Amino acid sequence: MKKWFFFALIAVFFLIQASAAASSGSAEIETDTFGASVDLTVTGSIADWSLTVGENEDTESITMTVLSNNAGGYDVKVYDALDGGKPAETAGHLTRYGDSYLGTYLADPLQVRSSGAYVSLSGVQQTIESKVGISADAGDTYAIGIKQRLAPSDTILPAGQSYRIVVTFVASAL
Amino acid sequence: MVSRRSIAALLIFFLLCSAAHSAAALRVTGAKWEGAVSPGVPATHTIVVEPSPGEGEMDAVVEVLGFSNAPDLSYVATGPCSACSSLSVTPTSLHLVPGERATVRATLDPPPSGGLYALISIRTLPAGEGAMGVVTGVQVPVMLTSPGAARETARIDSVDLLTDGAPAVEIWLTHTGDRHFYGLSGAVEIRDAGGSVIWRGKVDPAAHALVPGSSVRLALPVEAALPSGTCMVAARISGGDGTLLDERSVEVTLDEGVAAFSEVSCDLNPSAPAVLSSPDGRITLRIPAGAVFSSARLSLGPCPVDDIPAATAFAISGIPGRLNAPMTIEVAYSPEDLASAGGDPGRLCLAYLEDGAWVPVATACDPARGVLTASSDRPGCWAVAVGGGGLPLVPVLGGIALLGGGYALLRRRR
């Protein structure tokens, strides 16, 4: 008799516990493991950038933000990945573009910088930013400087054509 | 008739509308795959890719690329790819939708031994037709080692003292082991022919991992003038735990002395202040408005005098006579300067060269920043000197000599 009473008591205890869990609306949250993350955003625009013969620079129109939780830090590199069939010899240069790249290109390469010195864009990745440690909560924001020298010999294009380049920004956890 | 230059000088409009506008922005989680793997036991890694908040739909490609260090230690997707033959990623193209996460699964079937290195590149595709487009990408370093990969070794390939421009020591080295490591550092010591240390410097531990097979360059600007003659340059490289990896000494003969840095200049305008700094940032001149009556070009360069009181000397030139208003001279003293003062920064001061003697001036010392500051209207050679607790030694000594001379003259007249 005592044995049955003891089992009944245990059963009642578990029933009470189960109903309490249900009525309080508690939920178990299980997270998957998370690893190093890197978020790279490049925003802004240089609208109607009128280039004149000589040095042209814009340091206020484009910003880059990196959000990273990698304790070792991150770096950001830039290069011309020759997208859209851009000829190899034009790497880093604004190149004449109609429906496709037409070969002629500005004599001087585009230059890009973040918080350091300008690098002349090429087909090789070059570091423009590097940081040891994690980013700020809202990300680390950098003003990107763009510089283009226009030579007197650079060809003035007919209507319907323009010079074009695609700059690739690559972030990496260290 | 309009000249070609004039035509070119007319505004050439590159309508960079949409340049970098709404650039594709990526968020990648699982941005590094580092760890140990067992031969024959497949390993997997999950990379979550999503558009950054506020971005629209975009397409991206996923590729497995080579992995090595560029000379500056940054990771580059060129060179050998020890993991490529056993590493695969799925899928290799992504269509990313705001609010949704895409998953890339990397699978590795480890070979019997060795380190496995690759970069997994996730890169958006260019969108739009603007004159300047921007693409963003994230490269995921893959750094995996099997139990047999244990050698974190490197050798120094060359040590050079560069004297074109500001002097610097350049060390080229190669990772000769089979396992990457962080914290590569270097140290250099330059001694004169008599064995006295002229300068010591070090490269702080690197943030990038050094990948097997990579050759990299460590460069240390030499923050001291070097005398002519023979000197010994000794270089050491160490791993992240401080283990000595290699060391090498080379004897260098300098036909003439080498200045600590190359000359820089700036234009002075009577109505505007100016700032001129040495290339290494250690020396800064702040010139107030009104310091010159007419436009002039001020230069900051090496002091062509071998006999300097401590380790840092420089020359301010370009101005005939003195400035109309005193400039502020800020100098970050070097460890060698500090050693000259017996380790007491309070004994350091700035001094100018006059008639072959160094004349100390009133100097403020900020030990926290390691900076000496003085005010003067004098161009010419300047140096860090040991002022004996801030006393203007030469004026004091000069005064004593003057008094002594006067006393002797008076006695003679009697």
CATH of domain A38-173: 2.60.40
Nearest C-alpha in A relative to B15: A48
Instruction: Please give the CATH topology (third level) of the domain spanning B154-254.
Output: Immunoglobulin-like (2.60.40)
Q: Could you tell me the CA-to-CA distances from B354 to B256, B360, B381 in Å, in that order?
A: 24, 10, 8
Banded model confidence at residue A43, pLDDT cuts 50, 70, 90:
confident
* B8:A72 CB<8 A: no
Edge-first strand listing for the sheet containing B87-90? A119-120, A111-113, A140-150, A54-68, A37-44, B26-29, B43-51, B102-108, B87-90
Query: What residues contact residue B390 under an 8 Å CB cut-off, 6+ apart?
Result: B346, B347, B349, B362, B363, B365
Domain positions in chain B: 26-145, 154-254, 264-396
- pLDDT: is A46 or A71 the higher one? A71
Edge-first strand listing for the sheet containing B197-203? B197-203, B185-192, B229-238, B244-254
Whether residue A122 has pLDDT greater than 90: yes
What gap in Å lies between CA B350 and CA B384, rounded to an integer? 5
Whether residue A123 has pLDDT greater than 70: yes
Whether residue B388 has pLDDT greater than 90: no
Banded model confidence at residue B227, pLDDT cuts 50, 70, 90:
confident
Q: What pLDDT was estimated at residue A10?
A: 60
Domain positions in chain A: 38-173
Banded model confidence at residue B334, pLDDT cuts 50, 70, 90:
confident
* B140:A173 CB<8 A: yes
What three-state secondary structure class fits B178?
coil
Banded model confidence at residue A86, pLDDT cuts 50, 70, 90:
very high
Banded model confidence at residue B403, pLDDT cuts 50, 70, 90:
very low
Whether residue B119 has pLDDT greater than 90: yes
For CA atoms B320, B322, B327, B332, give the dihedral sign.
Answer: positive
Distance from the B264 Cα atom to the nearest Cα atom in chain A, whole angstroms: 17
Per residue in B2-26, pLDDT tens?
Answer: 344 433 433 343 433 334 444 568 9
What three-state secondary structure class fits B325?
coil
Distance from the A26 Cα atom to the nearest Cα atom in chain B, whole angstroms: 27
Mean pLDDT, chain B, rounded, equals 85
CATH of domain B264-396: 2.60.220.30
Q: Which of A40, A61, A86 to mutate to test the interface with B (most CBs of B within 10 A)?
A: A40
Kindly report which listed range (A161-165, B289-293, B302-306) carries the lowest average pLDDT score. Answer: B302-306
Q: What pLDDT was estimated at residue A157?
A: 86
Work out the angle at residue B35's Cα, subtended by the Cα atoms of residues B30 and B41, and round it to the nearest 5 degrees: 100
Q: What pLDDT was estimated at residue A64?
A: 95
CATH of domain B26-145: 2.60.40.10
Q: Could you tell me what percent of chain B has a pLDDT over 70?
A: 85
CB interface of A with B, residues 39-68, below 8 Å: 39-53, 61-62, 67-68
CB interface of A with B, residues 6-35, below 8 Å: 34-35
Nearest CA among B297, B291, B293, B299 for reference residue B273: B291
What gap in Å lies between CA B185 and CA B180, rounded to an integer? 14
Two structure tokens written together for B10 = 């007319």
Q: Could you tell me the CA-to-CA distances from B59 to A44, A83, A149, A154, B209 in Å, in that order?
A: 20, 14, 33, 34, 31
Nearest CA among B271, B268, B273 for reference residue B288: B273
Structure ipTM over 0.85, yes or no? no
Distance from the B123 Cα atom to the nearest Cα atom in chain A, whole angstroms: 8
A53, A94, A132: residue with CB nearest B9: A53
Q: What pLDDT was estimated at residue A56?
A: 93
Tell me the residue type at B379: P
Mean pLDDT, chain A, rounded, equals 84
Contacts of B134 in chain A (CB under 8 A): 42, 62, 166-169
Distance from the B374 Cα atom to the nearest Cα atom in chain A, whole angstroms: 29
Q: What pLDDT was estimated at residue A2?
A: 57
Banded model confidence at residue A16, pLDDT cuts 50, 70, 90:
very low
Strands B87-90 and B33-36: unpaired
Q: Is the full-model pTM beyond 0.80?
A: no
Kindly report which listed range (B173-187, B308-322, B353-367) carries the lowest average pLDDT score. Answer: B308-322
Give yes or no for A169 touching B (CB within 8 A): yes
Give yes or no for A94 touching B (CB within 8 A): yes
Distance from the A111 Cα atom to the nearest Cα atom in chain B, whole angstroms: 13
Q: Verify cis geometry, omega within 30 degrees of 0, for the bond prior to B326.
A: no
Nearest CA among A56, A53, A103 for reference residue B4: A53
What gap in Å lies between CA A156 and CA B29, rounded to an integer? 45
Q: What pLDDT was estimated at residue A23?
A: 40
- Whether B26-145 and B154-254 share one fold: the answer is yes
